[in-house]
Amino acid sequence: MGLDTIIQISDASIFQKNILILSDVNLTIDKGEFVYLIGKTGAGKSSLLKTLYADLPLMEGSAEVVGYNLKEVKTKEVPYLRRKIGIVFQDFQLLNDRSVNDNLLFVMKATGWKDSDAMRHRMNEVLDKVGLISKGFKMPHQLSGGEQQRVCIARALINDPELILADEPTGNLDPESSEGIMQLMMDISNAGRAVFMATHNFSLISKFPSRTVKCENGKVLGHIHPTVASELE
């Protein structure tokens, strides 16, 4: 694994509840790279992402993610692995009974932050990055879908991760909000983080072209040019 390699998967098989979903997976993603993951529903995109953040065990093959060997990672090490990965889901998964600020503070406490001044400073930093510095006091239901997803991205950035895994992050958003989220994801990648993003949205891929890999027929096909990606779907 090279110094700048964030994800290195070799000859891996991806299982969900002992059912083989993907086989012979080989994939390398380097620091600062933005990679799309495409494929039909049920093709294995989410299972691949879940394996990368150790939600599903790696049964066969080898994979290193942010310096952790997924084959050998111990349960007690998983929280440390996940601190180096920011995860953005389609359905936000915010705590609806607390403010934006308190959502972020909750994650910080859960990942070992202690110093309240440092926490406040970091919280303001990430809210500023996602354009929500003035909305920290609001409750999630007072925000638009696009703003809620920005909170999720702020939450994913809290621990300054090396990698962002995004599973259909624009899936529940209108086209304008989706573009705003995509621009934000591209900016995050340009700042030196690797971003691996599952999406169905080909208009976004054509507007924000980048390297694309595809889950199809139990395999992961690499290096699909964005212009042909839409024809392959």
Residue 233 pLDDT level (bands cut at 50, 70, 90) = very low
Q: How far apart are CA 195 and CA 192, in angstroms?
A: 9
Q: How far apart are CA 7 and CA 95, in angstroms?
A: 30
> What is the average pLDDT value for the chain, to the nearest integer?
90
Q: Looking at residue 122, what is its pLDDT?
A: 96
Q: What percent of the chain has pLDDT over 70?
A: 94
Q: What is the mean pLDDT of residues 188-193?
A: 94
Whether the pLDDT of residue 185 is over 60: the answer is yes
Compare 175 and 90 and report the one with higher pLDDT: 175
Look up the pTM and report it.
0.91
Q: Count CB-CB contacts under 10 A for residue 88.
A: 24
Q: Looking at residue 89, what is its pLDDT?
A: 85
Q: How far apart are CA 54 and CA 71, in angstroms?
A: 10
Q: Looking at residue 9, what is its pLDDT?
A: 95
Secondary structure E strands in the chain: 5-16, 19-30, 34-38, 60-65, 68-69, 85-88, 163-167, 194-198, 211-216, 219-224
Secondary structure E strands in 31-186: 34-38, 60-65, 68-69, 85-88, 163-167
Q: Looking at residue 224, what is its pLDDT?
A: 56
Q: How far apart are CA 126 and CA 124, in angstroms?
A: 6
Q: What is the DSSP string of 183-232?
A: HHHHHHHHTT-EEEEE---HHHHHHS--EEEEEETTEEEEEE-HHHHHHH
